[in-house]
Amino acid sequence: MNMKNISLKILTLFFGCFLFISCEKDEIGNTATEAMAGEWYVKVDAIDADGGVVYDDPFGNGHFHLDMYNTSNNDDNQMWIDENKNFQLHFKSKINVDLSSMTFSVDAGANEYEDNTITLTEGKLLKGAATTPGGAVADSIVFLISISDDTFPADYGYDKYRIAGFRYTGLTSDEDH
């Protein structure tokens, strides 16, 4: 065996060990708000002060996608709610969450999409409480929202909006047709 072959084998062994060590995967932890995070398929109704529906789907949006996800701080008591500009009145705001009761709210939260604030009350997630249009069992979401500069409620005689729906399944049988 010549010196060149020995050097080549040592070099191959060294790089083989390096590749083996560098290929070890780090365990990735879950986010602090994972239990409440997700994509939701929701619909809006305009409601009066007693919760009665004044207008079913007042802007004709039908069902749309809404996301809830962790903040960059990964706190277990705060997350984002984001309608991804799918609703007539755009909103994206940090909300306060209680993981033990699966509830959420915000009072005059800064709206990242518009120069206004949102107030979100009575927000809750209910595990397995929804039945999708296709018949699957899914988690349910419901909350009330008002937006500081929204004149529609006063102009058309309602109080705020109720947004409700279910965790998005991705099944075409659960989509509006």
The number of distinct structural domains making up the chain is 1
- Residue 66, both tokens: 């809404």
pLDDT at 54: 97
In a domain, 25, yes or no: no
Residue ranges with strand state E in 25-174: 38-47, 53-56, 64-70, 78-82, 92-98, 103-110, 117-131, 137-147, 160-167
pLDDT at 44: 97
In a domain, 11, yes or no: no
In a domain, 132, yes or no: yes
Domain of 45, CATH number, reads: 2.40.128.220
In a domain, 14, yes or no: no
In a domain, 69, yes or no: yes
pLDDT at 8: 58
- Residue 24, both tokens: 């070890």
Please say if the pLDDT value at position 161 is more than 70.
yes
% of the chain with per-residue pLDDT over 70: 82
Residue 16's CB is within 10 A of a number of other CB atoms, namely 10
Please say if the pLDDT value at position 107 is more than 60.
yes
- Output 95 or 10, whichever has higher pLDDT: 95
pLDDT at 174: 78
pLDDT at 31: 86
pLDDT-derived band at 141 (thresholds 50, 70, 90) equals: very high
In a domain, 10, yes or no: no
Q: What is the mean pLDDT of residues 22-28?
A: 53
In a domain, 4, yes or no: no
Q: Which domain holds residue 88?
A: 38-174
Please say if the pLDDT value at position 160 is more than 90.
yes
In a domain, 57, yes or no: yes
- Output 135 or 28, whichever has higher pLDDT: 135
163 touches 142 (CB < 8 A): yes
pLDDT-derived band at 177 (thresholds 50, 70, 90) equals: very low
* Lowest mean per-residue pLDDT among 21-30, 37-46, 59-68, 126-135: 21-30
